[in-house]
Copies of this chain bind each other. A is one copy, B any other.
Amino acid sequence: MIPEATVARLPVYLRALTALAEGGIRTCSSEELATAAGVNSAKLRKDLSYLGSYGTRGVGYDVDYLRYQIAREIGVTQDWPVVIVGIGNLGHALANYSGSRSRGFRVVALLDADPERHAEVVAGVPVRPFDDLEAIASEHAVAIGVIATPAAAAQDVADRMVAAGVTSILNFAPAVISVPDGVDVRKVDLSIELQILAYHEQRKAHEHERDHVAAAIGGDA
């Protein structure tokens, strides 16, 4: 049983290893890999220890071997069929991104409720009516769905996805969606990320203010 925090970092390690492999590097230490992944080396080693003992003391890790082990653990040695619902600006970006960049996933359908879009072909995949969801999902055994619709439609789309057999949802719509037990939802929200940054930014600004005031009154304690 791998801790959730570790699961969230495994893809980062995988990408770092891929970058090293492309650079022709065959072996790396936990320190090097940790730097490439932007984490602490102790944390990296503990994370990897949940998968097994794939390193060699005194030497480090074999890049290709570790890469395969992590990919297998995550489950991206096979290809997961994915449907994307909502082909606006964001849907376009996601379709292109998933289509070319990332191995492990295959976009089997792009769906949109707007008939205007049904003529389009994005990243080689035609946009089809949202009502085709059930047919496509059962035909390709789709387990992963992406919601890129406006907030108002998100819950409906989620319900239909779940009914069609989808058990993992990636939600880009700025809305909280509720799903039955056994269905995983991950949420990505631009606006929330910006607001978190704004909070810290504001705190920095206040910090400065206090510094200025302190300097002005000559405080040195």
Contacts and interface: CB of A to CB of B under 8 A. Distances in A.
Interface residues of A, number: 58
Interface stretch (A4-12, A61-69, A108-116): A4-12
Contacts of A80: 194, 198, 201
Contact of A190 (B88, B98, B167, B169): B98
A198 B76 contact: yes
Contacts of A124: none
A153 interface: no
Contacts of A105: 194, 198
Interface string A8-37: 101110111000000000000000000011
Interface string A156-194: 000000000001111000101010001010101111111
Majority-rule SS of A interface residues: helix
A127 interface: no
A129 B104 CA distance: 35
Copies of this chain, how many?
Answer: 2
Interface string A57-87: 0000000000000000111100010100000
Given A7-B196, A144-B198, A170-B190, 20 more contacts: A10-B195, A11-B191, A11-B192, A15-B192, A74-B198, A75-B202, A76-B198, A80-B201, A82-B194, A89-B92, A90-B90, A101-B174, A101-B191, A102-B191, A167-B201, A167-B204, A169-B197, A170-B197, A186-B193, A188-B193
Interface of A: 7-8, 10-12, 14-16, 36-38, 73-76, 80, 82, 88-90, 92-94, 96-98, 101-102, 104-105, 143-144, 167-170, 174, 176, 178, 182, 184, 186, 188-202, 204
